[in-house]
Structures are given as structure tokens and as C-alpha cells.
Structure 1
Amino acid sequence: MDISRRAFLKTTAVGTAATCGVGTASATAASRYDSYSGVVRTRDHFDISFWGDVYRTDGHSRTDYETTGTIPGMTDDSEPSELVVFVHGWKHDAVEARAKFRKVTEALRGQDVSAPVVGYSWDSEGETLQWWDFVEIADLNADKLGTFVRDYQAASPGTDVRVIAHSLGAKTVVECLEFFMDRGYDTSIRSVDLLGGAVDDDEVATGGEYGQAIADHCEHFRNYYKTDDETLETDYRLAEWDTAVGHQGIEGEAPHNYEEYDVTYVTGHDDYPKPEKGCIPDVVGNWQ
């Protein structure tokens, strides 16, 4: 068995926290889903060998996932009109991911969005020099996210699914759309919103790697970028030798369903999904 460098670096506290339950809306508030409802979880599905190779851990397949808490429309008998799935970015352990799910839910509730919110929690905590490993892990999570979306739509066909992704979570989401396309699925998501997306700016264009998948597998695709995002301007550019779509917007012709917005007013890279500091009011304002 490979020796896991990333697992060795994890603290006992983080490992314990990853097994804790998630917050669930109380019975009196269930109709409004005041808290995020549940989590789609793929933590510990991937690891990095001592030699730096990403591998799938024992007992996990290309498409499996777990859920915790309540997934309205899937693990209960409700059928909400909409479900919001939020995919966090890099360097989030399980505790930090749950904190971000709470923040984005708070921001959505502040805009009178009552739809249930579900977090997507994936292996993203690591060292800076492991960036390329986590890009690969974000990529490999796409089939799992896509399988969840298909399972969810089969269980609750009357529910529109909206996906919001922050930072490196954007890689998982655009790869998820490509997962639908490559397998010939007719699956479509109501809307995709990238917040400070860590994806190359030309890859989302028509003729780019994800352009056709964007055009075919979501009704509305919106990119929110920040021209003074220091994380994307320095770290991403240094790592990828390219410009992130979350920094300067798209390079090239946009797919027919693509829109983008300059939200340079956002305080910092980590703040896009947060109340007051972020751009969730614009995200919700642009929903159709």
C-alpha cells in the first residue's frame, strides 16, 4: 500500500472533526431551511503517495459518494423547487468546509433565498507545493459530483439544481459538465456560478476544453471575477503560467449561455461567498 504523505500531515484534531455530524434545519424551520441541510462528502476518497502520485483509496470507486445530514428531495420525501449545491475551494479541511457552507447559506438567506443548501466536501487540504495534486483531485471529483446530480434529479425530478463553486471548486464543476457530455448524458443544471474560479480563462471559451459542455449541460453559466485577486494573480499564474477566469474573465468567444461580472469590490479571494464581503447578492440577482 502507498505511504500517504498527506494523511501523515493531517492532525488528529482534523481527522476527528471530519467524522462529526453537520448542522440540520430544525423541524420548526424546515420549510425555510435556515441552516445548510446536509453534505455530499468524498473526503478520504483520494490521497497522495509519498512519491506524489494521486490515487483512489481502497473501497472507493470512480463515482461513489456519501451524504450526511439531510439532502431534501433525496433523503426525505420533500421535493423543493430548487436545491443549491456549494463546492468549496482549496485548503479546506472538513471543519473549514462546514464553516464555509454556513457562511454561504447565511449570505443566501440574506437575499431571501429559501431553497435548501447542500455542501460538497472534498479532499482539499494540503501544502502549497502540492497544488497540482489537488488540481487532479478536484478533477477526479467531477464524476462523483456528476453522479450525485444525476441521482438527485432521478429522486427529485421537479427540483432545479443550482451549483455555486468557489476557487478550485470551479475545476470540479466544469469537469462535471464535461462528465455529462463525454458520457452522452442529457443531464442539465439550472445554473452554474463560479466565484473566483481557478480555471484557465481560455478553457471556458467556445472551442476551449469546457466550452461545449458549458453550452450543452447548464441553462445559465455565470463567472464572477476580481481583477485585483492577489491569490489568482500571483499564486495561480505562477503555478499554471496562465490567467484564471476568476481574475480577468474569459479569453475568447463565450458560449451562448455564458455571462460574467466584474466583482472587484469583493474584499479578498476567500470572501466571494461570504455575507457582506462577497458577491452573493449579485449571484442571486442574476438568477432566472
Structure 2
Amino acid sequence: MMADENKNEDTQAAETKVDNAGSTPTPTTASTEAADNQSAEAGGQPQQREGRGGRGGRGGRDGGGRGRGRGRDRDDRRNRGDDDGEELIEKLVHINRVSKTVKGGKRFGFAALVVVGDGKGRVGFGHGKAREVPEAITKATASAKKKMIRVPLKEGRTLHHDGRGHFGAGKVNVRSAPAGTGIIAGGPMRAVFESLGVHDVVTKSIGTSNPYNMIRATFDALTNQSSPKAVAQRRGKKVADLLGRGGASEAEAEAAAEAIAE
């Protein structure tokens, strides 16, 4: 009996030692605050005791706020660069869809052709490719804004003289017209003249009907346009001298020279 009692006492003592060794003392609130204060005095940051919420606040509230601020500034700069105080006329001329057959099926892509102008003598065209139509149009519009050219207009409504344009298999003829004629053009050429701000013009496309080649041929004809003012400066003369050679009087030539606007 005495031996059994001694064994039981030894077993209870061993279990008590194991429990004491396996358990970890839990720090009290006072000791934790003291440790935080010591770390703060040493130049460090106090440990956050919020668990998952603290991590979320550190990455979502502080870091996320800084990320959103940078993105917002970048968007504002982009808007300020595009918004330069003028209203542009954007016209979608053509959208082409292509497909590529791959192992999983068909992969589609889109190409957009866009004409952009301010309606006051500046016009440009561009094309863009993307997997989605809106993204392709955005790329084409940005490309058109970078390649805008200025075309001299007579009285702000028509061309100064007739011209011809050529690109590849596309050939176009453009002619100035009196007031009230309107835009006699079709397809891509109409979009160019409407964006340019021309109100009276007669055009004819000869050859290909490819919208890309037609627009390039039209721009070739527009780049060859010159105004009497530019010709007079190049020749070292006055505009009235050039206009008076057709038999008009000096007063009429000067009046016509003053009426000419770029």
C-alpha cells in the first residue's frame, strides 16, 4: 500500500512539471503597454495588437490611400493634357474585325480608323488595334490627335484651289465650290471634310474603295493646298499684287486680299 501511494505521488508531480513546462505565461496588459512604450522611446513603432484588422488598416488604409492618390494625380495630368480648351470632332470611319484560329477556338481582334478635327482648319487621322472595340477607338483617336495638320481655307468654308491626291491605288480630286454647294463627297472623304470645317467642296474618288487608301490620298491633296498669303510670302510680293493680275482693279484686289483668311 505504501509503495502504491508513493507511485501516485510521483506520477502527480511529473504531470505537474509537464503542465508547467508546456504552458506559456500570457503577458498582461500592463506589461504589453510597457514594452510598447520602451520600443517607442527607442525610436521604433509600437506593435499593433489588432491582428488581421491591423494588417488590413496598414495595407488598405495607409498604403491603399497612397496608391489611390498617385493614380488620381496621373489621371488629372492626362485630362489636363487632352483638355486644351478646344472641342474636337471625332468621326469613326471604319472598323475591321479579324480572327485567328488557335487551339482553344478563335481569337478576335479589331482595327479602328478615326478622323479627328477642330472644324477650323485642322484635321488628322489615325488607326488603332486592340482586342476590344472601345480600346481600338481610343488608340486611333490618340494617334489622330498627334498627327493633325493645318489646311488653309478660303473664307473659312472651302478650299483655295483644286487639287489631286494619290496614295497606292487611291486617287482623289478635290475642287473648291461656291457658297451653298455643300459637301459633295462620300464615305471616308466626307468625314475628313466635316471634321476639317469645310462647308462647300466637290470631290471625286477614282480607283480603290479602301478607306485607308482613300483617306491617305485625301490628305495628300490637302497637304498640297496653299493660300495666296503663303504664295505671296514665298515670292516676296503682296497678296493684292497676285490677285490684281487677273484684270481686277487695285481697289478690288486689296478688298479681296483683306477678305482672304487662312
Q: TM-score range by the shorter chain?
A: under 0.3
Bigger radius of gyration among the two? 2
Structure showing greater relative contact order (alpha-carbon pairs closer than 8 Å, 6 or more residues apart): 1
The structure richer in helix per residue is 2
